[in-house]
Amino acid sequence: MEKRDYLTVDALGIPELAKVLDLADELKADRRPRDDLAGLSIGMIFEKPSTRTRISFEVGIVELGAHAVVLSAGELQLGRGETIEDTARVLSGYLHAIVVRTFAQSRLSTLAAAGSIPVVNALSDFEHPCQVLADLQTIRERKGRLAGLKLAYLGDGNNVAHSLLRAGAMAGMHVAVGCPPGYDPIQQVVEAARAVAAGTGGTVTVTADPLAAAKDADVVYTDVWASMGQEDEHDARLLLFRPFQVNAQVMEAARPDAIAMHCLPAHRGEEISADVIDGRSSVVWTQAENRLHSQKALLLTLLA
């Protein structure tokens, strides 16, 4: 079987993305243990703290019949100077795939290029492609479709924004990103998403006006204003990002049946108000649960 990596969401083709979401729905409807990946060992390397990613992947691997080998960077010789290339070659002799949560995207690319087994991006500073699979599954569950819907993302133009732009364009959605000047998504990502959207019927917009981004949105999405590694910027960002909080005013600008999403962990009272995350429009907890089902579908697609 040809080695396949999942480093960015567009590693899946457009038809294949839909198939992964269909499979995720099937796995959610019937969560009985399976043996599709029996006999396989899947490594999980975490260079960043994790709650949802760690637990959902480990449980999902077990439920597919495989064995999860969970490692922190401090437990590997990576933390003592061994090169990524050497680590990739060694792990390729032991494991059948590696799930990695790291900082620089280049670390994933190097690992994938040097190793002979699939590498899955469980989060990098550039993208969060596993998160967006759960996001699309959740939206489709609630709305019955993806194409033609408007998804408004408010906040930092970060890794989650990048993945939403790419995946939303692939799904034919109208993605509007609202963020303070200077905190836009990377322009190359925006342009690439626009090129994809031109062929799927979607659109991509980036604006500094949060209410314009949220206007008539079917989905309103946010993330923390300071990601891991940016904690020293937290206080400075609070003032800049305050107008981009997802709150009652923003939800009123969206469609009456709009859903509110957050990839978690949430800082209540900062990027999202407590009344929204705990309110009737929130699908945050379903979104978190769907990490399990969508990642199981991804692993089956790459390994079964």
Q: What does the pLDDT look like over 239-285, one tens digit per residue?
A: 999 999 999 999 999 999 999 999 999 999 999 999 999 999 999 99
Which residue carries 């799930």 as its tokens? Answer: 99
**Residue 94 scores a pLDDT above 80:** yes
Q: Tell me if residue 205 falls in helix, strand or coil.
A: strand
Backbone angles phi, psi at 64, to 5 degrees: -95, 5
Distances (CA, A) of 44 to 41, 68, 122, 197, 238: 10, 7, 9, 33, 33
- Which tokens sit at 138? 């959740």
Domains with residue ranges and CATH for the chain: 33-126 (3.40.50.1370), 131-287 (3.40.50.1370)
Segment 62-76, tens digit of pLDDT: 999 999 999 887 787
**Can you give the pTM of this predicted structure?**
0.97
**DSSP category for residue 258:** -
- 288 has a pLDDT exceeding 80: yes
Tokens of 253: 């600008």
CA distance linking residue 156 with residue 185, whole number of Å: 8
At 235-246, the pLDDT tens digits run 889 999 999 999
Tokens standing for residue 243: 């107008």
Question: What residues does 153 pair with on adjacent strands?
Answer: 177, 221
| Element (DSSP H or E) covering residue 174 | strand 174-178
Closest CA to 147 of 174, 121, 124: 174
Residues known to be catalytic: 101, 128, 131, 223, 263, 291
